[in-house]
Chains A and B, each alone.
Chain A
Amino acid sequence: MCDLIEPQPAEKIGKMKKLRRTLSESFSRIALKKDDTTFDEICVTKMSTRNCQGMDSVIKPLDTIPEDKKVRVQRTQSTFDPFEKPTNQVKRVHSENNACINFKTSSAGKESPKVRRHSSPSSPTSPKFGKADSYEKLEKLGEGSYATVYKGKSKVNGKLVALKVIRLQEEEGTPFTAIREASLLKGLKHANIVLLHDIIHTKETLTLVFEYVHTDLCQYMDKHPGGLHPDNVKLFLFQLLRGLSYIHQRYILHRDLKPQNLLISDTGELKLADFGLARAKSVPSHTYSNEVVTLWYRPPDVLLGSTEYSTCLDMWGVGCIFVEMIQGVAAFPGMKDIQDQLERIFLVLGTPNEDTWPGVHSLPHFKPERFTVYSSKHLRQAWNKLTYVNHAEDLASKLLQCSPKNRLSAQAALSHEYFSDLPPRLWELTDMSSIFTIPNVRLQPETGDSLRAFGKNNSYGKSLSNSKH
Chain B
Amino acid sequence: MVTSCPTSPAARARRRDNDQNLRAPVKKSRRLRLRRKEPLQPLNSLPLLGDSGVCDLFESPSSGSDGVDSPAASAARDCGLLPGPARPWAQLDLQTFRDYGQSCYAFHKARESHFHPRESLAQQPQVTAESRCKLLSWLIPVHRQFGLSFESLCLTVNILDRFLITTPVAADCFQLLGVTSLLIACKQVEVHPPRVKQLLALCCNTFSRQQLCNLECIVLHKLHFSLGAPTISFFLEHYTHVRVEAEQAEVSEALEAQTLAQGMAELSLADYAFTSYSPSLLAICCLALADRMLRLPSPVDLLLGEHPEAALQDCLGKLQLLVTINEASLTHMLPLQICEKCSLAPSLIKAVP
Residues of A whose CB lies within 8 Å of any CB of B are: 1-2, 4-5, 19, 22-23, 26-27, 29-30, 38-39, 41-66, 76-77, 80, 82-86, 89, 91-93, 97-103, 105-106, 116, 118, 120, 145-146, 168-177, 179-180, 182-184, 186-187, 199, 201, 248-251, 279-286, 288, 293, 295, 298, 302-312, 338, 362, 364-365, 405, 409, 411-412
Q: Given A169-B64, A286-B60, are A176 and B188 also a contact pair (CB < 8 Å)?
A: yes
Q: Given A45-B19, A101-B173, are A77 and B224 also a contact pair (CB < 8 Å)?
A: no
Q: Check if A54 sits within 8 Å of B172, measured CB to CB.
A: no
Q: Given A102-B167, A176-B193, A183-B226, are A365 and B1 also a contact pair (CB < 8 Å)?
A: no
Interface of A is mostly: loop
Q: Which of B111-149 contact A (CB under 8 A)?
A: 111, 125-126, 128-131, 133-138, 140-142, 144-145
Contacts of A175 in B (CB 8 A): 62, 187
Q: Given A41-B15, A56-B329, A100-B215, are A199 and B170 also a contact pair (CB < 8 Å)?
A: no
**Which of A39, A173, A182, A184 is the one whose CB lies under 8 Å from B213?**
A173
Q: Given A55-B5, A58-B1, A279-B189, are A101 and B215 also a contact pair (CB < 8 Å)?
A: yes
Q: Check if A58 sits within 8 Å of B133, measured CB to CB.
A: yes
Q: Check if A57 sits within 8 Å of B173, measured CB to CB.
A: no
| Interface flag for B41 (CB, 8 Å) | no
Q: Check if A186 sits within 8 Å of B225, measured CB to CB.
A: yes
**Which of B66, B226, B270 is the one whose CB lies under 8 Å from A187?**
B226
Q: List 24 A-B contacts (CB under 8 A).
A: A1-B214, A5-B214, A19-B211, A45-B15, A48-B5, A59-B271, A61-B271, A62-B321, A82-B175, A97-B170, A174-B187, A179-B220, A187-B111, A279-B189, A280-B191, A281-B51, A285-B56, A295-B53, A306-B51, A308-B90, A311-B99, A338-B53, A364-B50, A364-B52
Contacts of B193 in A (CB 8 A): 176
**9 interchain residue pairs of minimum CB distance:** A50-B141, A82-B134, A305-B50, A176-B187, A285-B53, A100-B173, A51-B141, A183-B227, A59-B270
With both chains docked as a complex, state the minimum distance between the C-beta of A98 and any C-beta of chain B, in angstroms: 6
What is the bound-complex CA distance between A172 and B218, given in angstroms?
15
Contacts of A172 in B (CB 8 A): 61, 64, 195-196
Contacts of B44 in A (CB 8 A): 362
Contacts of B272 in A (CB 8 A): 61
What is the bound-complex CA distance between A145 and B196, given in angstroms?
22
Interface of B is mostly: helix
| Interface flag for B2 (CB, 8 Å) | yes
With both chains docked as a complex, state the minimum distance between the C-beta of B161 and any C-beta of chain A, in angstroms: 15
Q: Check if A60 sits within 8 Å of B49, measured CB to CB.
A: no
Contact with A along B211-251 (1 / 0, CB 8 A): 11111111011101111100000000000000000000000
What is the bound-complex CA distance between A308 and B262, given in angstroms?
21
| Interface flag for B24 (CB, 8 Å) | no
**Which of A64, A179, A282 is the one whose CB lies under 8 Å from B184?**
A179
What is the bound-complex CA distance between A362 and B42, given in angstroms?
12
Most central of B52, B104, B212 by chain A CB within 10 Å: B52
Residue of B nearest to A405 (CB): B95
Q: A50-B138, A76-B1, A282-B49 are in contact. List 9 more A-B contacts (CB 8 A).
A: A42-B22, A82-B134, A116-B221, A179-B227, A183-B227, A187-B226, A199-B224, A281-B51, A311-B100
Contacts of B22 in A (CB 8 A): 42, 46
Q: Check if A62 sits within 8 Å of B322, measured CB to CB.
A: yes
Contact with A along B32-49 (1 / 0, CB 8 A): 010000000001100111
With both chains docked as a complex, state the minimum distance between the C-beta of A170 and any C-beta of chain B, in angstroms: 7
Q: Given A174-B220, A176-B188, A180-B188, are A251 and B5 also a contact pair (CB < 8 Å)?
A: no
Contacts of B347 in A (CB 8 A): none
What is the bound-complex CA distance between A280 and B64, given in angstroms?
18
Q: Check if B204 sits within 8 Å of A365, measured CB to CB.
A: no
Residue of B nearest to A22 (CB): B208
Contacts of B216 in A (CB 8 A): 173-174
Q: Given A45-B19, A57-B329, A101-B215, are A26 and B93 also a contact pair (CB < 8 Å)?
A: no
| Interface flag for B57 (CB, 8 Å) | yes
Contacts of B310 in A (CB 8 A): none
Q: Given A59-B271, A310-B96, are A83 and B226 also a contact pair (CB < 8 Å)?
A: no
Q: Check if B62 sits within 8 Å of A146, measured CB to CB.
A: yes
